Structure 1
């Protein structure tokens, strides 16, 4: 996949969390800038570029900002990666990392992380009695451990203002996934209830609203950097 004007990109997903196994794919995520003049043309711009080999998703700068302001966990984690997981960091990409706090707000973080985890749980619950065939057990274990991860990371971000991408004890999350996949849906149900209560009872250090003005200033710097006066 040939994406021009990449500002920031890195390895995300299971590899970043420490949950990857021998068969796991390496997921890449990035932000790119469209040439500013193209934004004023007749044709709509491509806001995202996605490939499956390798697994990579790149969002145009404005779309990335909108998703991150909404608290999207997958998108937001790009700004919180350990330094060794970045493969491209331009000066504007470094600025984006530096202003990651401007994207945060209590309600959106809570709704996004807990909402994504709830979606995962509903997929598990919809399977009925909790018994899984061999061909679905692996995927069920994956959904379960990511359900746990979303709850854990989301509450951490909500209560401390920090997002640790690499999990301190990945095996704990892996074991949880295997136990749920073995049929113990009650374990996932209890986890969801515990984190819902934790979100309700824990005070958040995050502001009520993100700092859109700071994000807007960065985006305008991107537009200025990629503007060329037409000949």
Structure 2
């Protein structure tokens, strides 16, 4: 057997519990089955540790045994396919929302959504930020044509449960509140000082941000806010833009 075929068969044994390798892996008294089991257990435990690192609040809620049962079920449904272990877990929120018994507790999926957004801020691409000084020289007649770009670390979440409050309590080592339906949009992003930030947002602000993300210009955003029954739209839109710039949400063009 050549090296490539041996490596392929060993991988199959570890990932799918197949029985393609017949000879022992090493000389010694350990059986072939036990040798492969050691590799397979080590592979799973490393992936489970990655999930635990990315979803610490979910791990605390479920506890060791249930979380590792979740990790095995998730690995079976979504085998790791990326060179970097960082991306293992990117489908966990969808898995929790769709698969029994986790789907019966919808806050699990929303907590995973929130924690993945927090994790995304850490290694999202960096980019220069727009400043208020950048806007000072723009003629009034050109404002309507302006386009703005969101910072790559920003996630816009539409949550239906109090997952952020549960996460906040768990991270502070406090007793978390009971799961409650609490529809609320949230923004999660990395601040200029490299700290993670998140806050709630009102529907009009989310509408404006989504339009901005889709490439609409400032004039189109103001027109859309008119349809949202916003009073004094120019003042509101300018206020949104000022807050976004001050909080480091808008990237320089």
With CA pairs under 8 Å and 6+ residues apart, which has the higher RCO, 1 or 2?
1
What TM-score comes out, normalization by structure 1 length? 0.28
Higher CA-based Rg: 2
